[in-house]
Amino acid sequence: MKIAIMGAMPEEIEPLLSYMKDIKSFEVANNRYYEAKYKGLEVVIAYSKIGKVFASLTASVMIQHFKAQKLLFSGVAGAINDELKIGDLIAATKLCQHDLDITAFGHPYGFVPEGKVFIQSDAELLFLAKEVAKEKNILLKEGVIATGDQFIANLERKEWIKKTFGADALEMEGAAVAVVCDAFDVPFFILRAISDAADMDAGFDFDKFLESSSKISADFIISMLDKMV
């Protein structure tokens, strides 16, 4: 079985590579991909760069070119659910595109004809993640993740997304990956560490958080691979 593992930024995949053996690097469609082995599993790892277009491109290459059969995504997200705190891990139950808007033609937000407002995550991978969280004694929260090609700093806009989609967290890649995986019938799982929330203080260091959270997320993803083995 071949597993794809994605992040949006280099920091999100670097810890994963340290677990791998027989790493080979490839340049495809102006991006770098790493094929490797992990305990008998074939793995392809890449960071997409930020945003829906790059995420879609990278997921498509992993599935079409590298023949990935499952896809795991690890990264950071902002909270819009008040119960989420900095450092919490959230697994997407379903994902939507909050910036997709053709309501002028009578469609709901997040919808285009022949598309879906929400795409469901794979139930088996979610179950696997919950088993890992239980064994590691980690609180893994579940919820709706909303994706858009915007960093949302406006509180009013955050509340609108929360109300319109019932969303718990915001990021810039997940739903695009979900659309690609859904189209190719590839099971996927989206894991996010909360990087900003209502309780954050002025002294918060994002770069330091990204480094530490990437290691925690990588360890979690590796534990999921252990169960697949």
Among all residues, which ones are annotated catalytic?
A: 12, 196
Kindly state the percentage of the chain with pLDDT values over 90.
Answer: 85
| Residue 7 structure tokens | 């992040």
Burial of 201 (0-12, 13-18, 19+ CB in 10 A): exposed
Question: Mean of the per-residue pLDDT values for the chain?
Answer: 94
Using CA atoms, how far residue 168 sits from 96, 147, 162, in Å, is 11, 11, 7
What confidence score (pLDDT) does residue 198 get?
60
Enter the tokens of residue 200: 């954050």
For 111-156, write each residue's pLDDT tens digit. 999 999 999 999 999 999 999 999 999 999 999 999 999 998 888 9
pTM: 0.94
Say which CATH topology domain 2-228 has: Rossmann fold (3.40.50)
What are the extents of the domains in the chain? 2-228
Cβ 191 vs Cβ 142: under 8 Å:
no
